[in-house]
Structure 1
Amino acid sequence: MDVNMSPEEVIQSIQQLHRETGDLNKKKVKKSHPEVMRHALHYFPDWQSAVEKSIS
């Protein structure tokens, strides 16, 4: 996998999704924004950890 997003960009993308949709359901994000999901799982142990880091 090519890593073309930094951890900060992943966090910003998750924050933007949260602002726009209010829904950070793993299945929905994986389907609608697969690149964000792939990068989040590259930098964080799991999706929940990425979400917690982004919206805390």
Structure 2
Amino acid sequence: MNVPLTSKEVITQIQKLQHEGQSLKKKEVKQLYPDLMRSALYYYPSWQQAVEESQTG
């Protein structure tokens, strides 16, 4: 499977979206940032888990 981002890049991108006030709803991220979603689900069991990981550091 082609994974465009590393796990660290996934966390950084999620934090960037949060900082900019962007929506982190799974459906919206999947539509707007498909590479981010694909990579996040490769490294984490769920999108929610990736978002939680980005908040804890």
The two structures share one fold, judged by TM-score above 0.5: yes
Counterpart position of 1:30: 30
Q: How does 1:33-52 map to 2 (within 5 A)?
A: 33-52=33-52
TM-score under structure 2 normalisation?
Answer: 0.88
C-alpha distance in 2, partners of 1:34/1:7?
Answer: 15
Unpaired stretches in structure 1, ≥5 consecutive residues: none
TM-score under structure 1 normalisation?
Answer: 0.90
1-10 or 35-44: which moved more? Answer: 1-10
C-alpha distance in 2, partners of 1:55/1:45?
Answer: 16
Counterpart position of 1:8: 8
Identity %: 48
For residue 54 of structure 1, what is the amino acid of its counterpart?
S
How well do the aligned residues superpose, as a CA RMSD in angstroms? 1.1
Moved over 2 A (4+): none
Count of paired positions: 56
